[in-house]
Amino acid sequence: DGGDIKPITVSVTKSVISTAPSATTNAIALKPAAVTTTSTTGGSSSNPDVGRKKEQLMYLAQLLKFEVMFSDFPKGNHGEYLTLVTLSTDPPQLCHGSGASLEESHDEAARGALEILSKIGLDNVKPKGGGAVTGDDSKSKK
């Protein structure tokens, strides 16, 4: 039933709602199960929460119509994977994360991106190009 997933989703949603009350954040609060319908966790991690932040970020990206790109760097002398996450917002946002696995590294980068989105407020998150992803923009430029 996903009962163990909802407290994680609600805690992130509450922090976002407390900084940016809007119709968008209310929609997020009403659909916490949609954030956790798929899992990106692999068998390599012992932490069942790994992947949750990435799922939440991907869900917000879908709602707010911006793209998310993860760029991975292999383990080097430091022994951890490094990830950069880029959000195609206007202005673009960039965060980094590291972890013992790619999943942990992605999740840490996604956590940072969620924090930035929370600080700037969801009402201030605009897709690159001012919302041209709707497909109606071609008619308005005549």
**Residue-range domain boundaries for the chain:** 6-38+49-130
Give the per-residue pLDDT at 109. Answer: 98
Q: Quick one: 70 exposed, middle or buried, by C-beta within 10 A (0-12, 13-18, 19+)?
A: middle
Which residues, given as ranges, of the chain have pLDDT below 50?
A: 1-45, 131-142
Give pLDDT, residue 62: 96
Give me the pLDDT at residue 130, please.
Answer: 57
Task: For 23-39, write each residue's pLDDT tens digit.
Answer: 444 444 433 332 222 23
pLDDT at residue number 47:
67
Q: Cα–Cα distance between 25 and 102 in angstroms, integer?
A: 29
pTM higher than 0.75: no
6-38+49-130 has CATH 1.10.630.10 classification: no
